[in-house]
Amino acid sequence: MDAVFNGTFITLGGFVDMDKYRYIYFVILLTLYILILCTNCTIICLIWIHRNLHEPMYIFIAALSLNSLLFCTVIYPKLFIDVLSQKQTISHSACMFQYLLYCSSGVSDFLLLSAMSYDRYVSICKPLQYQTIMGKRTVIVLLTLAWFLPACEVLVATVISSQQKLCRFTTGGIVCNNTIFRLHCVKSEFLTVYGLFVIMNVVVVPVMFILFTYIKIFIITYHSCAKVRKKAAETCLPHLMVLFSFFCLVLFDVIIARLESDLPKIVRLIITLQIAVYSPLLNPIIYGVKMKEIWKHIKRLFCRPVNKRI
């Protein structure tokens, strides 16, 4: 009976002192999830409602917030169940499904940021051609590539990994991320090579493209007037801050996968929680505060004057 159970379910062994801190974990995670939902939904609704925000840059920001909602919904509901349960387990099929959504939604952020950097490049460096280049069709194509290209590439790794024989049934994490590959009896060379290909394709290349476009923008604006430099800083700085947070997310995930046996359990837990909190919560705050038009609508939403009766 145990063999059948172990062959069907995987134990998530990354939690620390569950019996002692069970309800503290639950309250903290629930609070974070509510904050993430509220902040990202606010950004999406503001961009959806106000017509002056129906521009490519703000559409990509809304897509990032939508992506954050998907990413967190993949993680948090299962965490709520785990912290309130005596055993933190997940079926193998559900684990692979979580891995698919976790990785595809995570890395698609890089492609969305690439689309945003291209939009800024065209807006600042080719302003007269902006309406022609960044039309509705271009935005749809960029959004489609950002969401479906990572999903298709991660799906291949997911299908191959699900067919591998398992010799271990306990992971050192709290979610099904890249640590699931350590459960395989035999390390697949194809998955290793293919994983590097995916990282190069949807992480390294987009990051290099983003850095290239922003370098070009800063070179051009350096020789322009102060007004142009200010506009470039207001729109590009938030994107670079978000890029840094996303890069840390992927870097932390790789660290967990490669150094799982060498890292203390509490360190692995903290790193994983940073992945689930850092970008989804800070991104809408960064865009809400740093993007002038969005911040203007946020102030109007929460700082409406009270009508006084005479």
Domain limits, the chain: 2-302
Q: Cα separations (Å) of 62 from 2, 66, 143?
A: 47, 6, 11
Weakest mean pLDDT among 84-88, 137-141, 228-232: 228-232
Closest CA to 177 of 286, 238, 97, 65: 97
Task: Identify the pLDDT of residue 4.
Answer: 40
pLDDT, mean of residues 45-74: 89
pLDDT beyond 90 at 175: no
Which pTM value belongs to this model? 0.84
pLDDT more than 70, % of the chain: 86
Q: What is the rounded average pLDDT for all residues in the chain?
A: 81
The hierarchical CATH code for the domain 2-302 is 1.20.1070.10
Task: Identify the pLDDT of residue 304.
Answer: 60
Residue matched to tokens 């460096």: 125
Alpha-carbon distance of 110 to 202, in angstroms, equals 7
Weakest mean pLDDT among 209-213, 225-229, 291-295, 296-300: 225-229
Q: Cα separations (Å) of 3 from 88, 92, 166, 168, 242?
A: 17, 14, 12, 12, 45
> What is the CA 303 to chain-centroid distance, rounded?
30
Half-sphere exposure of 19 (CA within 13 A, CB side): 0
What does the pLDDT look like over 245-285, one tens digit per residue? 767 767 766 666 655 556 677 777 777 777 788 778 877 87
Q: What is the DSSP string of 14-37?
A: ---SHHHHHHHHHHHHHHHHHHHH
